[in-house]
């Protein structure tokens, strides 16, 4: 299992476009991928789950990858989050 925290620093938070990009990036992987925010944990492959978190700008999120391709999945998600302005 790999866990990484990121500060979502873009000005609009985790709104529809970056949320859909995260879900699209997560979906091809076999590993279980989750997103935690304010003690809520959702499936990162579910757009409804990700959007339900309401992640605001400046918030800390935790990405969790667990499974056979967890390293590759985390690298892809980390790359995408950094391109959206998130920092670890």
Looking at residue 36, what DSSP letter applies?
A: E
Whether 71 is a known active-site residue: answer no
Can you tell me whether residue 41 is helix, strand or coil? strand
Can you tell me whether residue 53 is helix, strand or coil? coil
Element (H, E) at 15: none
Residue 35: Cβ-neighbour burial (10 angstroms; 0-12, 13-18, 19+): buried
Please tell me which residue in 7, 10, 15, 67 is annotated as part of the active site. Answer: 15
For the annotated catalytic residues, the residue numbers are 15
């Amino acid at each position: 299992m790999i866990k990484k925290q990121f500060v979502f620093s873009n000005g609009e938070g985790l709104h529809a476009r970056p949320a859909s990009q995260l879900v699209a990036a997560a979906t091809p992987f076999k590993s279980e991928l989750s997103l935690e925010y304010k003690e809520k944990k959702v499936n990162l492959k579910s757009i409804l789950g990700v959007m339900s978190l309401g992640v605001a700008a400046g918030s800390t999120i935790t990405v969790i990858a667990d499974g056979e391709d967890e390293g590759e999945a985390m690298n892809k998600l980390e790359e995408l989050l950094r391109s959206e302005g998130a920092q670890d």
